[in-house]
Amino acid sequence: MRTFKKFLVTACLALTFGLTHARQVKPLTGQWQFIKSDVSVKDSTKDTIDGKSWQTVTVPHTWNAKDAQSGGEYYTGTACYRKTVDIPADLKGKRIFIRFEGVGQVADVYINGKKAGSHKGAYSAFCYEITPGVEFGQTNTIFVRANNEPRPDVIPVNHNLFMVFGGIYRPVSLIITDDIHITPTDYASPGIYIRQNSVTEEKADITVTAKLKNDNMASRQVQMRTIVKDAQDKVVATKSSDLTLPSMVVNSYKQSLTVENPTLWHGRKNPYLYSLTVQLTSEGNVLDEVTEPLGLRYYSMDKQKGFILNGEPYRLYGVCRHQEWKDHGSALTNEQHKTDFDMIYDIGATSIRLAHYQQAEFVYDYCDKLGFIIWAEVPFVNTWKGQEGENAKQQIRELVRQNYNHPSIFVWGLHNEVYGSSTMSYPVQVTKEMHDIAKTEDPDRFTVSVSGYGSLKRPMDCHADLQGNNRYFGWYYGAPDGLGPWIEGTRKVRPDTLVSVSEYGAGGNPDHQAENLTKANPISGQFFSEQYQAMIHEVQWAQIEEHPIVWSSYVWNMFDFCVPGWNRGGVKGLNHKGLVTYDRKTKKAAFYMYKANWSDDPVLYIRDKRLKERTNPAADIVVYSNLKDVTLTLNGKDFDSVNPDHCVFTWQDVVLESGKNTVKVTATRDGKTFTDTCTWNVDPSKADLGKGVIASSSETSKGNIARNAADGKTNTYWSTNERNPWIRFELKEPKEVDEISILWYNSSERVYPFEIETSLDGQTWKQALSTKSRSEKGFETYKFDPVKAKYVRIKGHGNNKTAFTAMYEVKLDGLAPVGDAELDKSAGDTQKVEKDKYETWVRRTDSAAEKWRDNRFGQFIHWGIYSLLGGEYDGKTYDYAAEWIQVSARIPGDEYAKLANEFNPEKFDAKRWAKLFKQAGVKYVVITTKHHDGFCLWDSKYTEFDMASTPYGKGVLKELADAVRAEGIDMGFYYSIIDWNHPDYKYAIKSDADRKQYRRYLDYMKDQLTELMTEFGEIKILWFDGRWDPAYKQNPEYGIEIEAHCRELNPDVIINDRVRAYDSLADYDAQYERRLPNTEKLASVDWESCMTIPKKTWGYHKAPGDWKSSKTIVEMLAKCASHSGNFLLNIGPKPDGSIREEEATRLKTVGEWMDRNGQAIYGCSKPDDHLTFSKGIQLSAKDDKLFAMIFDADVDKVTIEGMYKKPESVVLLSSPDANWPAWDYSNGKLTIELPEKQLDPIAPVFQITLDD
């Protein structure tokens, strides 16, 4: 550790110096004055600024200690600090420096009104000489302006991943040296650099470089001496050199030394530290000296064994750490830092990723002592702006120089989740330059960069020595057990690339306890159960441990931390992925799982001990322990021991008693007994499981909980695609049972093989029946020999069409009345549901639905890489829809995917598009984010087949959505269920393997829909397509799952019926594609017609065929509005991003008509059925008005009969100020006479106001 002399600091600091050594370091922590205002230098001595007064604070200090964590508004901007310091007159002739360990994030430093320097970057130290500005023998004022606003030229460029706390949040010190000194201003480094040239068990050859400066006017003779001492303070190596230092410049000087038979620094096993001191002397006087830690070690990487330390494999597993505490922010004391790292040491971690920035100097010193292997990095994270390159290079240089001598550091991190569209893009070039800087500064350590994608083929990947990938299976995407297959797949993609799982984990709130392991929505969910988080870590640590090819793995995160603006997991402003809570008071269950696996200290911990209140009488009791022969005792009854899986002991399906249950686990080691206990209270009545039946099941992870099969409802069900699943029902009391009735899901089309088993104790089971369902409508009753039972269990095996076992409702001998289900004999008949879907549809009456109806007119956009072909391939023109050309031309997938390499829509102008849509009069826009070809118009984390991989290099959705909303138009997204590009997409499901594969694709869909609904502002409409393939069509539960996921993300979103597999409607009927409905048979539901302007194609086609006229388009729109429907008019932009003139002209013409007559469309619906009217017109209604839209140019009058209310007025909408003179009303019939002259180039509209 660096050696500093310490002294007391007061608000006005008087410096006193002993002169034994010329260098002294005086802390300036403690009391400073602070004002949250942008103060000019000339005003910095005033007591009040704009009515605000300076207040006394203690440095380290941040002004965001609480507001950033509130989840609401927080201050980013400029605030100022000042402090007075008395500098004695006898120091004149010395050099005075001021050093800041960290200021968030841009700092301007002044001494007595003179600027000492400016620094950009919140996490690295900086040091300025202030000698010219010091008034010796006087009181000196230090003034600091700090600013933590995000800015494009300083990394990080935003606060999206973590908070950049404002303030002087780390220690400050004055450094006083002789004129001849080791420079403290070489990027605020120690000024000496210890390179370990060759280290073995026999000897260690090192080279020390010192940067020395002589501030005298003439050259000076000095002696440079390097001294290495062991841990017992014994000198083991020394070297002296006589030097002539030239005047006024900094020069580097090297010395080489050898330590014989060194004790190696070997991580946690033996973190042995030498000390190395560089001393400058002249004529027996010590002019300056600096002492640094020296841990002698050597390391390498092996493709099969991972990290090798001192010739031995050394697994790197551990955690990431943010430098902040609740109510303290980043202004931490060394004692708080120590608490964090002692806790990390306690869990047994061998390595730490100090993410995502340089941390306090104490941290690196303490890690050297504890033996952690450290990944140190700079905050080039999340995104890039194109202006931050110089600052990123500055910060990597600062990181390396300031921490060069720490033996704990083995790798320099260059970036985290920053992406470029090609290897020539800006962030790639910056990364390469940062790598070159790091390797030039430090040739012996590795560099690493990190991607949030699973692929190793993106343009930003593999430009460092090592590659890290952040993988959140089971949380943001995929299944919890997807990590292992991903690890194995990396070797197929890049056999020679060493890969780290640089982040993994899930959110968990210890206040959230759940019996079912149901995944929350990670973006907007408010319930993050501790159990689900623990399960994720159980599964994924096991997979990591079994793959030593992973050179390191890091849990994200050791501690909860602040993310401003987040509202997740029940606490605003917080990321809950920590193993320990933000206040450091609670260790979550997963903490003990890791401690059991990583630490040699005895661990025995009941995972669900905080789940005290329960409703389910059956439970898996999970215990974490690294002890052997763990035994379980429940309510005094002993259970046999079970074999652990990676230190996880699980007693499955243990029956609990109603009321209080005492759980105790016991184990021994070396003759000492360890126990852990907890108490659970079971109250089945609180489960709302139906009358008389308590239900549980093997299915615990998908939200299809057992009570759905015993709740008396036929619109809920229990379903699972697990192999050999079961669902169990507990009776009120043991009784004789001889039959069971089951209402199967889709009963008339599926055959379900199953067994009925009974039990008196819930442990020993006896088969009562083995049979299969009979494909009947409604409940099927199965009889068997009478048997006394307390529990009845149904064991399933899927069905004849899918792997799912699914049922709506179960009846057990009348003990569980099922309400209306008994009367609904056709509830399981999907064909009946299909037939009656219009009758069962329920109209939404919320404001979002009302607004969608009132909008009436929308803009559809089909755009993607298919536009490059324009309906032509290999010299042939395909008349069918251009967006289907991959199929119609039978283009191989690999060949088709190459189109992405050519897609560069340089003429795309989102604002120009939006202004055209506004001009057209549309009220909502829907764009194809992903069509059937799978190509994505945004930069998706889950595929490389997207805009980011094109020459254009970035997504278009954000820009378009912002532009559309700026014009007052609602934004909607089209998303295809079909994906011809995705490897897991299946046309049909024919086996269990197919089903598992399609399950992965469904998770992919949900992940992408989460992106679409959370990263582009509020999406008002989701327009699904492609439900016709058998894999989706024949498994309606998939559609229910997708729809539920979307509504969880945004309950107000409008979703079309194509999300469902034909069996029912969602919010509206979207079946009318390139056609209008038969209005005589139109059901009373919300509906929409989507229409092309050319005859056949949606996407851009070079030969589109006949174009609809503007009048035809308007008439279609009018017909929709006059029958209570919406009209979605499509365009297909060209591959360069421009809109072809034929479409733009028609949109403008339609818009001109809407300007005159839009009142007849917006908010209008079908008039009363008893009205009859002339052919050639469309009649719409709104409030007390009718609108007659006349499209037949040959008519000379309009008649409307059946009008029970007399018209109050009739006006031509294009001239609304004048009452139309030629109309007559008699006996319920209105006649409007028309002149011979044309009233409107498309269709005149008469507004008829009725008299109440």
Q: What is the per-residue pLDDT for 705?
A: 64
Radius of gyration of the chain (CA): 37
Whole-structure pTM value: 0.68
Residue 600 CB burial class (10 angstroms; 0-12, 13-18, ≥19): exposed
CA distances from 913 to 502, 672, 865, 919 (A): 41, 75, 18, 10
In this structure, are residues 100 and 109 in contact, taking their beta carbons and an 8 Å threshold? yes
Higher pLDDT, 124 or 1041: 124
Where would I find the beta strands (DSSP E) of 11-170?
12-14, 24-27, 30-35, 48-49, 52-53, 55-59, 78-87, 95-100, 106-111, 114-120, 126-129, 138-147
Q: What percentage of the chain exceeds 70 in pLDDT?
A: 93
Q: How confident is the model at residue 1101 (pLDDT cuts 50, 70, 90)?
A: very high
Q: What is the per-residue pLDDT for 833?
A: 34
| Paired strand residues for 572 | 567
- DSSP secondary structure code for residue 93 in this structure: T
Residue 690 has pLDDT above 60, yes or no: no
Residue 819 CB burial class (10 angstroms; 0-12, 13-18, ≥19): middle
Tell me what the mean pLDDT of segment 472-497 comes to: 87
Higher pLDDT, 1100 or 816: 1100
Tell me what the mean pLDDT of segment 773-794 comes to: 90
Residue 4 has pLDDT above 80, yes or no: no
On the question of a cis peptide bond just before residue 60, with omega within 30 degrees of 0, the verdict is yes
Task: Give, in words, the CATH class of 688-835.
Answer: mainly beta
In this structure, are residues 223 and 282 in contact, taking their beta carbons and an 8 Å threshold? yes
**CATH number, domain 1172-1250, options 3.40.640.10, 2.60.40.1180, 3.30.450.150, 2.40.50.40:** 2.60.40.1180
| b/e 483-504 (16+ beta carbons within 10 angstroms → b) | bbebbeebeeeeeeebbbbbbb
Higher pLDDT, 676 or 722: 676
Residue 1112 has pLDDT above 90, yes or no: yes
Q: What is the per-residue pLDDT for 761?
A: 83
- Close Cβ partners of 601 (under 8 Å, ≥ 6 residues apart): 346, 348, 595
Does domain 192-294 sit in CATH 2.60.120.10?
no
Q: How confident is the model at residue 687 (pLDDT cuts 50, 70, 90)?
A: low
The Cα 610–Cα 508 span in angstroms is 13
- Tell me the HSE value of 418 on the side-chain side, using a 13 A CA sphere: 32
In the structure encoding, which two tokens stand for residue 842, read together?
């329920």
Tell me what the mean pLDDT of segment 987-1014 comes to: 92
In the structure encoding, which two tokens stand for residue 541, read together?
């640590």
Please, what is the angle between helix 910-920 and helix 1141-1157, to 10°? 40
Residue 477 has pLDDT above 50, yes or no: yes
Does domain 851-1160 sit in CATH 3.30.200.20?
no
Higher pLDDT, 420 or 1116: 1116
Q: Which tens digits make up the pLDDT trace of 691-710?
A: 334 666 765 443 456 767 87
Query: Which residues are designated catalytic?
Result: 417
Higher pLDDT, 963 or 802: 963
CATH number listed for the domain at residues 12-182? 2.60.120.260
- DSSP secondary structure code for residue 587 in this structure: B
Q: How confident is the model at residue 778 (pLDDT cuts 50, 70, 90)?
A: confident
Q: What is the per-residue pLDDT for 704?
A: 52
Residue 602 CB burial class (10 angstroms; 0-12, 13-18, ≥19): middle
Q: How confident is the model at residue 714 (pLDDT cuts 50, 70, 90)?
A: low
The Cα 325–Cα 231 span in angstroms is 33
Residue 1063 has pLDDT above 80, yes or no: no
Residue 933 has pLDDT above 50, yes or no: yes
Q: Is 1074 helix (H, G, I), strand (E, B) or coil?
A: coil
Least confident window among 106-120, 288-302, 444-458? 444-458
Tell me what the mean pLDDT of segment 669-695 comes to: 76
Residue 818: other Cβ atoms inside 10 A: 25
In the structure encoding, which two tokens stand for residue 1132, read together?
């297909």
**H helix runs in 930-1049, sequence order:** 957-966, 992-1014, 1030-1033, 1036-1049
Q: Which tens digits make up the pLDDT trace of 494-541?
A: 888 888 999 999 999 999 999 888 788 888 788 999 999 999 999 999
The Cα 354–Cα 375 span in angstroms is 6
Q: Which of 768-772, 1071-1075, 1190-1194 has the highest mean pLDDT?
A: 768-772
Identify the H or E element spanning 499.
strand 499-504
Residue 38 has pLDDT above 60, yes or no: yes
Identify the H or E element spanning 29.
none
CA distances from 553 to 272, 311, 429, 493, 977 (A): 24, 20, 27, 20, 34
In this structure, are residues 1024 and 991 in contact, taking their beta carbons and an 8 Å threshold? no
What is the total residue count of the chain?
Answer: 1252
Which residue type sits at 1235? P
In the structure encoding, which two tokens stand for residue 799, read together?
């069905």
Average pLDDT across the chain, whole number: 90
Least confident window among 206-220, 468-482, 824-838, 937-951? 824-838
For domain 606-684, the CATH superfamily is Immunoglobulins (2.60.40.10)
Q: Which tens digits make up the pLDDT trace of 351-396?
A: 999 999 999 999 999 999 999 999 999 999 988 899 999 999 999 9
Secondary structure (DSSP) of 396-464: HHHHHHHHTT-TTEEEEEEEES---SSTTSHHHHHHHHHHHHHHHH-TTSEEEEEESSS-S-STTTT-S
Q: Which tens digits make up the pLDDT trace of 888-930?
A: 888 999 899 999 999 999 999 999 999 999 999 999 999 999 9
Max Cα separation, the chain? 124
Domain boundaries of the chain, sorted by first residue: 12-182, 192-294, 299-337+348-528+547-591, 606-684, 688-835, 851-1160, 1172-1250
In this structure, are residues 451 and 483 in contact, taking their beta carbons and an 8 Å threshold? no
Q: How confident is the model at residue 838 (pLDDT cuts 50, 70, 90)?
A: low
Q: What is the per-residue pLDDT for 1060?
A: 87
**H helix runs in 202-347, sequence order:** 334-347
299-337+348-528+547-591 and 688-835, same CATH topology: no
CATH number listed for the domain at residues 299-337+348-528+547-591? 3.20.20.80
Least confident window among 281-295, 944-958, 965-979, 1225-1239? 1225-1239
Q: Are strands 1172-1173 and 1177-1182 parallel, antiparallel or unpaired?
A: unpaired
